[in-house]
Structure 1
Amino acid sequence: MKFTLKDYQEDAVRDVLVNLKKASKRWLEDGDKNAFSLTATTGAGKTVMAAAVFEALFHGDDNFDFEPDAGAVVIWFSDDPSLNEQSKYRLLEASDRVSPSDLVVVQNTFNRESFEPGKIYFLNAQKLSKNSLLVRGADIDDEGYNKSGQQVMPDLRAFTIWDTIQNTINDPSLTLILVLDEAHRGMGAGSKQGEKTTIVKRLINGAGAVPGIPVVWGISATVERFNDAIADMKGRATLPNVVVDSAKVQASGLLKDTIILDVPSETGQFDTVLVRRGIDKLKEISTSWAAYHQEQGDVDEVLPLMVLQVPNTPDHNEIGRALDTIYERWPDMPEDAIAHVFGDHTTQTFGRYSVPYISPERVQESTWVRVLIAKDAISTGWDCPRAEVMVSFRPAKDRTHITQLLGRMVRTPLARRIPGNDRLNAVDCLLPFFDEKSVKEVADSLMTGSDGGDQLQGRRILVNPEEMLANPAVPEAVWEKLLSLPSQTLPKKQSKPIKRLTSLAHELAFDEILPGAGALAHAEMHKVLNAARQRYKDQISQARQAVLTVEGRTLSAHLSDKKMSFDDFLEAADYAVIEDAYRRASRGISPDLASTYSEFLAKSEGDADDYEEALMDAHATVAALGLIPEIQAYLEAEAEKLAKDWLTQYRVAIKALSDERQDVYREIREMSTEPMDVDLARPNSWMQPTTIREADGTEKALPRYEKHMLCNSEGAFPEDFNTWEIDVLNLELNRDNSVAWYRNPARASQDSLGVTYEDAGSIKMMRPDFIFFAQLPDGAIAADIVDPHGTQFSDSIPKLRGLAQYAETSGEHFRRIDAVAKVGDAYRVLDLKETKVRTAINSATSIAELYSSDVAADYV
């Protein structure tokens, strides 16, 4: 793969491969048909996951412990040719093992007896309609027969596309897999008796002589309709559906954290006003991206664009007036910076402007486009991460179209979160024809993943927010203290320590922090393996003997006395047997390390006059090592230890790198099987709500607070706190020598201090509410964590234990780490820097009793 998969993507790919392996086995052995779906919210990278699946399916993958399927054939089906073209482009963009020749777009000239294994064939509904040249050449019915009941072949063609599908299914060496892209489209809720079978259902169920495709894999953000349709189909089993956790997608940084909705504060025609505001936002975000590019140096400059969304029957003169406003506000924008994606693929005239058509999938790469005029044709199957502003002329009743299009604009332009910068992690939508009530409905839709999926934890929908910048009244020493505080990261499931070490070594060498890090890492692991050979000498000897010999029994039948006997035999293993055992062992210790260690053994211990024989002997030794579980565990522990040592040793050098490069190391840290400390990023720009909606629908301005590390132009920070939080905040800000405070973000961003905790066997993340800063008598800055801790939640004790563990390992960075709760009418505090308090927390069964006991004190 050209891309490093996120942890949730790896998990999904592994689960899909398990399903495909089961489905293929059941089809080839028993003729059973199976179906399953992959559900992931918009922007999760479904095509990237599919590319990883296809690489493993066709070529095998040691990371997923998956052997290649020599008989696998894939049909990628959608209801739109442009979606297929975009999917083909993305698969090639993501994969370095799936070649262009493996991806075949089925055209009208396609003519094969059966599909070829190892290839992906792109089909769409139009190609399978009864009028398609692939299907018919005369007046036939939906099943391919004429009025006389004879099957009619297309003109100049030996096989219809249905023949090709049938022949592929009937080939006992092949497994045909149908991938339904955007699986929720074209799948009716059910088919009534007598209704014509849809093309999609014909592919799944079969019709006439053509059987249903053996394996069906649906990919979508909303697959309920697909799942319902599959459940109603007879003769097809369902495998466990693969569901991607939307919270992990949001936490990954692939999706923008904030969607900003701008609406007029009163009713009326404000289209021109908000178009002007929209182009101002585009200019502002363009300047911010240019500054970020200049600051970072090694990142591609993002050239954002604005989407001008219009109704399905737009007034071209009205669009022309909007373009006049755009050029008046941004006179330096080139005249050829505008394009449209209407269904009519011709140049359109809007007032005095001639605007060319551009294919939706080309918008992202066509950086000359700065304003894109669209209806609703691109609301599904298209995305453009650099589309950062949208002005919609859609009326309030069209909120579904707005929500769908916004759902295509949520990908982050650099496929990662920009640390501490809400402005660059946001998308703006201006709705001149909307009222507050309709905007609330749009916000509710967006909070459920834009596609009716799960709640997207970490995403914020803000209406008319205000930007917060660094508070000039806060001393730089406070910022330095904040950035010195250790945060924690969730461990990555199923990560391999040796792979993690190898990845770290590659990046350290690339950044010239540790030249030759790869060779150094392997040399250290060679020492580990040498030590293991001494430690497990006898076991290795036995395992090596098992690798080098093949045991069996020979049956002898004597015709004279009709007796049979078994004779044991022992033969030396040949090259193929040894290599097979070596290959299996390589998966456990990593193919690269197995290769370098084999070469090391061949050169240091083998016959110098016969390197090939020495290498084969070394492969036998490596194969034997792989048969002893204790060796792999020992090796992985040492690899984990070395990776941790290097991450600690070179932390300062890594911190000096650009955001893009630091993000690479952040992902490597998260590959640890245990929680690890990470550095906080400096927050530069936050978008904060300024009003709150009351129960009666009225809007009320949020309270403003002083001394926050980020503030508006008046030095104030607006926030909606509950009663506990307000009481804690007021008490802390009134303490002597209080300098500043930080509202720790509740979302998974690099400027949020995270603390891991264990709950029901899973590692989870909590984020303490407040960090307060005070100036000590000697002039130093002290940091205090104060977390108003609710006692009514089931995870209250696990979170408290996690914070107590954090206090034990990282307490030296803080003056106080306090957990506060209200018991009756009084506030009580647990001082987590006290050993006796932590001991009581670890043995507690009731959090209310804990705060009422003598280990707690009155919070004053």
Structure 2
Amino acid sequence: MKFTLKDYQDEAVADVLTNFKKAAKRWHEDQDKHAFSLTATTGAGKTVMAAAVFEALIHGDDTFDFEPDPGAVVIWFSDDPSLNEQSRFRLLEASDRLSISDLVVVQNTFNRDKLEAGKIYFLNTQKLSKSSLLVRGHDPDEDGIEKSGQLAMMPDLRSFTIWDTIQNTIEDSKLTLYLVLDEAHRGMRASGSSNNSGERPTIVRRLINGSGAVPGIPIVWGISATVERFNDAIAGMQDRATLPNVVVDSSKVQASGLLKDTIILDVPSEMGQFDTVLVRRGTDKLKEITGAWRAYAEQQDDADIVLPMMVLQVPNSPDHNEIGRVLDAIYERWPELQEDAVAHVFGEHSSQQFGGYSVPYISPERVQESTWVRVLIAKDAISTGWDCPRAEVMVSFRPAKDRTHITQLLGRMVRTPLARRIPGNERLNAVDCLLPFFDEKSVKDVAQALMSGGDGGEELPGRRVLVNPEEMKPNTNIPEKVWDKLLSLPSQSLPKRQARPVKRLTSLAHELSADGLLPEAGKMAHAEMHKVLNGARERYKEEITNARKAVLTVEGRSLRADFGSREMSFDDFLEAADYAVIEDAYRKAGRVISPDLATTYSDFLARTEGDPDELEESLVEAHATVAALGLVPEVRDYLETEAEKLAIQWLTKYRIEIKGLSDDRQEVYRQIREWSADPLDVDLARPTSWMQPTTIREADGSEKLLPCYEKHLLCSDDGLFPEHFTSSWEVDVLQTELQRDGVVAWFRNPSRASHDSLGVTYEDGVETRVLRPDFIFFSQYEDGTVVADIVDPHGTQFSDAIPKLKGLARYAEVYGSVFRRVDAVAKIGDTFRVLDLKEPMVRSAVESATSIKELYESGAANDYS
């Protein structure tokens, strides 16, 4: 893969491959057909996950311990040719083992008796409709099909219809046909549905269930953000078993940084015609975000400047002259905008005249790469399957009743342009939507839909939808020493699953070498691991010797039959293993100690322990030794322990140098840190821009200004920070702390997984999670020293209250010297109580606690004042 998979993507790919392995085995053994789905919120990278699956399916993958299926054939099916083309492009973009010849678009000229192993074929509904040349002659009611024993000539000199090709592929015992349904929920309506032509559901169901002589496709994988309809349909099919559905945790998707954290909705605060007003405001936002991206690129010394785009969403029957007036308003507000910076994606597929502007058509899948497009005019045809990360502003001329169309399109605009979160800059992690025909009451439905990803489903933790917010900038009254203290505070992150220490070390070495921090780090890492493996050979000498014998010999039993006495007996035999057997064992060992390390260690052994005149024979001997190492579990444990030690040593040694790199490069090292089996410290980013709501809507529909507070690290132009506290405890704690002598600043620690949020890990059953303490306060002594206090109003009503408290206590034990106080505050009855987690006695009480209420009522806690 060209991309490093996120942890949730790794997990999903592993689960899909497990299902594929089971389904293929059961199909070839018992002709059992299977289906399952993968569901992930919009923007989770479903096509990237599919690319990793196809690489493993066709070529095998050591990371997932997956053997290739030599007969694998994939049909990628959707109802939209342009969506197929975009998916094909993304697969090529993500994969370094799938070539363009492996991805075959089935055209009307396609004519094969069966599909070819190792290929992915792209089909769409139109290609299987009755009018398509690919199927002409297949329908028994048409000419060109066998009747009364006579075989008529197929039309168009075609030997096979696509249905014949599919049938022949399924019936070939050497092949395994996999059907991937993109946007699977759209193909599972009952036949004859009025929502479509009535033909597509029939086509998809015929692919799944079979029709006439054509059997159903053996293995079906449905991919969508909302797969309930697909799952329900599959469950109702009697001759198809289901495998466990793969469900991607939406909180992990939002935490990954692939999706924008904040969606800003701008609506008029009064009734009236405000379309041109908000168009001008949208243009200002486009100019502003363009400048912000340019400044960020200059700061990072990055040549790849993001060129953001505005989407103008119009009704399905738009007034072309009205669109012309909108373009007039845009150019009046931004005269420097290029004349040819506008395009449209209307179904007409031809240039359109909007007032005095002739605007060309562009296909949706080309918009992202066509950076000359800065204003895109769209209806609702691109609301599914299309996305454009650089689309950062949308002005919708849809009325309030069209909120579904708005949320669907806006849901396609939530990917982050650089596929990562910009540290500390919420303005660059946001998308703006201006709704001139909405009022604040009707926009609430839009906000609720967007909180669940725009496609329905569970809420996305960490995403915020803000109505008419204001931008908060760094407070100029805060001493620079406070900022330095904030950035020195240790933060923890979740470990990445399926991380192999040797792979982690190798990746780290590659990055350190690429950045010039440790030249030839890769060679150094492997040299150190060669020493470790040599040590393992001494430490586990007897086990490795026995394993080597097992590699070099093949055990078996032969049957001896005496026809005279009619007696049979089995004789054991031993034969020397041939080259193929040794290489197979060597390849399996490579999965244990990593393929790259297996290769370099074999070369090392051949050079240092082999005969220089017999290098080929020496290499075979070395492969046998490596194969034996892979059979001894203790070797793997020892190797991974030492690899982890070296990785931590290098990450610690070069920590300061890494912090001096660009955000993009720092993000790479952050991911490598998170590959650890244990939580590791990560550096906090300096916050530079936050978007904050300034009002709250009451139950009666009225608007009320939020209370504002002084001394926050970020603030509006008047030096104040607006905040809506959901608990009165938080307000009481904040007011108490701000009244203390020496307090110069405070920080409302973000509750989402952003780079400027301090995280503390805790164990909740078998899961490792992250809590984010509410407040950090900063005080300055007379000598100028700045100290930091964590004060966390700790809710007692939640089931994870004790696990969170234990996590915070362990954090205080390790990092207590960095803070003056680490306090957990709770209200018991009418009294606030505090646990001073820097005290060993208090931490001991927390560790043994079973009741949060009893803990705060015990002598371990004191009254808070």
Deviation sequence 1:188-216 (CA, Å, 0-9, x none): 05789x99971000111111111111111
| Residue in structure 2 matched with residue 66 of structure 1 by the alignment | 66
Report deviation, 1:154: 3.3
Provide the residue aligned with 2:300 in structure 1: 296
Residues 145-164 of structure 1: pairs in structure 2 closer than 5 A: 153-164=154-165
Q: What is the alpha-carbon distance in structure 1 between the residues aligned to residue 302 and residue 674 of structure 2?
A: 23
Q: What is the one-letter code of the residue matched to 1:390? A: M
Q: Is the 8 A contact 2:191 2:202 kept in 1?
A: no
Aligned to 1:520: 524
Q: Secondary structure at the match of 1:155?
A: helix
Q: CA deviation at 1:232?
A: 1.5
- Give yes or no for the alignment of 1:6 onto 2:11: no
Question: Which of the residues 789, 798, 802 maps onto 2:794?
Answer: 789
Structure 1 partner of 2:250 = 246
Shift in CA distance, 188/400, structure 1 to aligned 2, threshold 3 Å: same
1:129-177 CA distance string (max 9 Å, x none):
1111111159964898699898863321000111000100110111111
Q: Please list the CA deviations of residues 795-850 of structure 1 after superposition, one character each: whole Å capped at 9, or x if unmatched.
A: 00000000000001111110000000011111110000000000000001111111
CA shift, 1:568, in A, is 2.7
* Per-residue Cα deviation, 1:93-124 (whole angstroms, up to 9, x for no partner): 11110000011111110000000010011111
Amino acid at match of 1:222: T
Gaps of 5+ in 1: none
Post-superposition CA distance 1:368-401 (Å, at most 9, x none): 0000000001000100000000000000100000
Looking at structure 1, the residues matched to 22 and 468 of structure 2 have their Cα atoms a distance apart, in angstroms, of 51
Determine which of 689, 702, 705 is the counterpart of 2:706: 702
User: For 2:264, what is the secondary structure of its paired residue?
Assistant: strand
Matched, 1:737 2:742: yes
State the match for 2:99 in structure 1: 99
Residue 176 of structure 1 corresponds to which residue in structure 2?
177
1:776 Cα deviation (Å)?
1.5
8 Å contact from structure 1 (residues 154, 160) kept in 2:
no
Q: Secondary structure at the match of 1:557?
A: strand
1:824 aligns with 2:829: yes
SS in 1 for 2:626: helix
Distance change (3 Å), C-alpha of 1:653 and 1:142: farther
Name 1:453's counterpart in structure 2: 457
The equivalent of 1:578 in structure 2 is 582
Summarize the Cα distance change of 1:829–1:196 in structure 2 as closer, same or farther, 3 Å threshold: closer
Task: Trace 1:258-273 onto structure 2 (pairs within 5 A).
Answer: 258-273=262-277
Could you give the per-residue CA deviations for residues 9-59 of structure 1, whole angstroms, max 9, x where no partner exists? 010001001111111111111000000011011000000000000000000
Match of 1:592 in 2: 596
Residue deviations 1:299-334 (CA, integer Å, cap 9, x gap):
511000000010000011110000000000000001
Deviations 1:430-489 (A, max 9, x none): 000001121100000011111112111100000000000000000111000000000001
Question: Which amino acid letter does the alignment assign opposite residue 833 of structure 2?
Answer: R
Q: 1:142-291 alignment to 2 at 5 Å?
A: 153-189=154-190, 198-291=202-295
SS in 1 for 2:174: coil
Once structures 1 and 2 are overlaid, which stretch shifts more, 295-304 or 314-323?
295-304
Do 1:341 and 1:372's aligned partners in 2 also have CA atoms closer than 8 Å? yes
**Which runs of structure 2 are paired with 1:121-520 in the superposition (5 Å)?**
121-136=121-136, 141=141, 153-189=154-190, 198-298=202-302, 300-520=304-524
- Calculate the aligned-residue CA RMSD, in Å: 1.6
Counterpart among 754, 777, 792 of residue 749 in structure 1: 754
Distance 1:299 1:754, change over 3 A: farther
* Residue 834 to residue 348, structure 1, CA distance change in 2 (3 Å): same
**Which range moves more in the overlay, 795-804 or 138-147?**
138-147
Answering whether residue 861 of structure 2 is matched by residue 856 of structure 1, we say yes
Task: Mark the CA change 1:424 to 1:761 in structure 2 (over 3 Å): closer, same or farther.
Answer: same
* Structure 2 unmatched ranges of 5 or more: none
Comparing 691-700 with 708-717, which one deviates more in the overlay?
Answer: 691-700
**CA drift at 1:563:** 3.1
The number of aligned residues is 859
Q: CA deviation at 1:698?
A: 1.4
Q: Which residue of 2 aligns with 1:667?
A: 671
Judging changes above 3 Å, is the alpha-carbon distance between structure 1 residues 139 and 825 closer, same or farther for their aligned structure 2 residues?
closer
The question of 1:84 aligning with 2:88 is answered no
Offset at 1:493? 1.3
Q: What is the CA distance between 1:186 and its match in structure 2?
A: 2.6
What SS is found at the alignment partner of 1:52?
Answer: helix
149-158 vs 352-361, which moves further? 149-158
Q: Which letter does structure 1 place at the counterpart of 2:162? A: I
- How does 1:555-704 map onto structure 2 within 5 Å? 555-704=559-708
What SS is found at the alignment partner of 1:436? coil
Cα 1:633–1:647 shift into 2, 3 Å: same
Local SS of the residue matching 1:185 = helix
- Secondary structure class of the residue paired with 2:584: helix
Asked whether the 8 Å contact 1:137–1:155 carries over to 2, the reply is no
SS at match of 2:685: coil
Measured after TM superposition, the shift of residue 229 of structure 1 is: 1.1
Contact 2:190 2:201 in 1 (8 A): no
Secondary structure in 1 matching 2:51: helix
Q: Alpha-carbon deviation of 1:566?
A: 3.0
Do the aligned partners of 2:137 and 2:161 also contact (CA within 8 Å) in 1? no
Secondary structure of the residue aligned to 2:346 is coil
Asked whether the 8 Å contact 1:26–1:32 carries over to 2, the reply is yes
Alignment partners' CA distance in 1, 2:477 and 2:782: 20
2: distance between equivalents of 1:575 and 1:587?
Answer: 19
- Counterpart CA distance in 1 for 2:248 and 2:11 is 8
Whole-Å separation in 2 of the counterparts to 1:377 and 1:566: 71
Matched-pair contact (CA < 8 Å) for 2:137–2:145: no
Distance 1:832 1:141 in 2: 80
1:847 aligned onto 2:848: no
Cα separation, 2, equivalents of 1:322 and 1:142 = 52
Judged with a 3 Å threshold, the aligned counterparts in structure 2 of structure 1 residues 148 and 619 are, in CA distance, closer, same or farther, namely closer
Separation in 2 of the partners of 1:788 and 1:122? Answer: 55
Counterpart residue type for residue 136 of structure 2: R
Q: Is the 8 A contact 2:191 2:199 kept in 1?
A: no
Superposition TM-score, scaled by structure 1 size: 0.98
Change (3 A) 1:626 1:137: closer
Tell me, in whole angstroms, the C-alpha distance in 1 between the residues paired with 2:453 and 2:151.
47
* Paired residues of 1:260 and 1:465 also in contact (CA < 8 A): yes
Displacement, 1:608? 1.7
1:519-560 Cα shifts (integer Å, max 9, x gaps): 111111111111111111111111111111112223222334
Tell me the amino acid that sits aligned with residue 97 of structure 1. R
Structure-1 separation of matches of 2:144 and 2:236: 25
Aligned to 2:728: 723
Question: Structure 1 residues 197 and 151 mapped into 2: Cα distance closer, same or farther (>3 Å)?
Answer: farther
Structure 1 SS opposite 2:551? helix
Distance 1:640 1:434 in 2: 55
Cα distance between partner residues in 2 of 1:201 and 1:436? 43
Amino acid at match of 2:307: L
In structure 1, distance between residues paired with 2:582 and 2:699: 73
* 1:255 CA drift (Å): 0.2
| TM-score (ref. length: structure 2) | 0.98
Report the AA paired with residue 417 of structure 1. Answer: R
8 Å Cα contact 1:506-1:517 kept in structure 2:
yes
- Quick check: 552-561 or 483-492, which moved more? 552-561
Percent identity over the alignment? 76
Q: Does 1:834 align with 2:835?
A: no
Any idea what the Cα deviations from partners look like across 1:749-789, whole Å, max 9, x if unmatched? 00000000001111000000000000013211000000000
